Copies of this chain bind each other. A is one copy, B any other.
Amino acid sequence: MKKFINAVDDVLTESLNGFAAAHSDIVTLGGGHKFIRRKTLKSGKVALISGGGSGHEPLHGGLVGHGMLDAACPGQVFTSPTPDQMMEAVAEVNTGAGCLFIVKNYEGDVMNFDMAAEMSEGIMQVITNDDVAVEDSLYTTGRRGVAGTLVVEKILGAAAEEGLALKELKELGDKVNRVTRSMGVALTSCTVPAAGKPNFEIAEDEMEFGVGIHGEPGRRRGKLLPADAIAEEICAAIVDDLGAAAKGNALLFVNGFGATPSMELYLMYNSARKMFEKHGVTIARSMVGSYVTSLDMAGASITLTILDDHAAKLWDAPVHTAALRWGM
């Protein structure tokens, strides 16, 4: 394992200290590094709190700030945060209008956020589950929440800033989640610092199709395909799954998992854009970059969110976080 670290046990703490120091104009850390919160809270605004295992940076800590999250609770690497983290975040950032938890659909995350919600007051939750690689079924855990979570957080962040109430925010979040779909492919595995070796083995000519954002194995293992073929399969799966909703304006978000150069991400975006337009979807907004990562995994995911005018307006609204910034 080759990483810039001092001791495995201090990775998270030292990294969070660095993050807070580098962005001290925007964020500050809660005690015991339990959460990252906005430096300045906006009283009367519903507080948006997200979180999850670390290793997906800039998600979620890099998305704390004006127009997006109020707090993010970082768990250990690839491990859901614990309820006390969310409870203390709530205690600090709830300015009276309640809190909305934005939670990626993993059992660990859901259970820990649930426990925190049960032990706090005035909480509602949006569960994101945009990953079409996993079959959606009531019987199983259902779909994972992946890169589309960022889109939900951005749109809800703007709406919260405009003063939308808790219940309406939850409804808006569910609505955006319903028109958001993602799927990813990994070319290499990733290494959790404390584990010291890659999460999975993958041959030099293989890719993992439908991979999650924890290096957990995906839908199938297959031979490495050309970018166009990968984009074709992913875009078809997304459009299929969206069904009748797959039309009109959309946001296309090509996300890198960490080790994939921007040159390849833009190439993938180029392929995906053509595919979606062939399917009759208009790419009205775009984002390309490594925002929802899996440590040092090479690979990418494609996310499509159908945008009505309201959602587009909220997407465009000013945001000022460590990772996303525009309009201010």
Residues of A within 8 A of B (CB): 2-7, 11-12, 14-19, 21-23, 54-55, 57-58, 62, 77, 187-188, 204, 207, 224, 226-228, 230, 258-271, 273, 283, 286-288, 290, 293, 295-296, 298, 300, 325-328
A275 to chain B, nearest CB (A): 12
Assembled-state Cα–Cα distance A260/B260 (Å):
10
Q: List 26 A-B contacts (CB under 8 A).
A: A2-B188, A2-B207, A4-B230, A4-B300, A6-B267, A12-B263, A14-B227, A15-B264, A15-B270, A18-B266, A18-B270, A19-B288, A21-B273, A21-B283, A21-B286, A22-B269, A22-B286, A22-B287, A22-B288, A23-B286, A57-B263, A258-B261, A262-B290, A290-B290, A325-B325, A325-B326
Query: Taking A55-B261, A268-B18 as contacts, is the C-beta distance between A2 and B224 under 8 angstroms?
Result: yes
In the complex, which residues of chain B have a beta carbon less than 8 angstroms from the beta carbon of A273? Answer: 18, 21-22
Q: Please, which residue of chain B has its CB at the minimum distance from the CB of A293? A: B261
Contact partner of A262 (CB less than 8 A), chosen from B58, B271, B300, is B58
Q: How many copies does the complex hold?
A: 2
Q: A6, A263, A290, A298 — which one has the most chain B CB atoms within 10 A of its CB?
A: A263
Q: Which chain B positions have C-beta within 8 A of A258?
A: 259, 261
Min Cβ gap A69→B in Å is 16
Q: A4-B265, A15-B266 are in contact. List 20 more A-B contacts (CB 8 A).
A: A5-B226, A6-B228, A14-B227, A15-B267, A18-B265, A21-B270, A21-B273, A21-B286, A22-B266, A55-B263, A57-B263, A58-B262, A77-B263, A258-B259, A259-B296, A262-B290, A290-B290, A296-B298, A325-B326, A327-B328
Query: With A and B bound together, what is the CA distance between A260 and B7 in angstroms?
Result: 17
Query: What's the minimum C-beta distance from A252 to chain B, rounded to whole angstroms?
Result: 8
Query: A2-B187, A258-B261, A296-B259 in contact; A19/B54 too (CB < 8 A)?
Result: no
The interface residues of chain B lying within 8 Å CB-to-CB of A12 are: 263
Q: Is the CB of B298 within 8 A of A267?
A: no
User: Can you list the 10 inter-chain pairs with the closest CB atoms, starting with the nearest?
Assistant: A18-B270, A18-B266, A259-B259, A57-B262, A4-B264, A22-B286, A2-B187, A18-B269, A15-B267, A4-B227
Most buried by B among A5, A224, A228, A266: A266
Point out the residues of chain B lying under 8 angstroms from A326, CB to CB.
325
Smallest Cβ distance from A27 to chain B, in angstroms? 12
C-alpha spacing A230/B4, complex, angstroms: 9
| Chain B positions within 8 Å of A19 at CB level | 266, 288
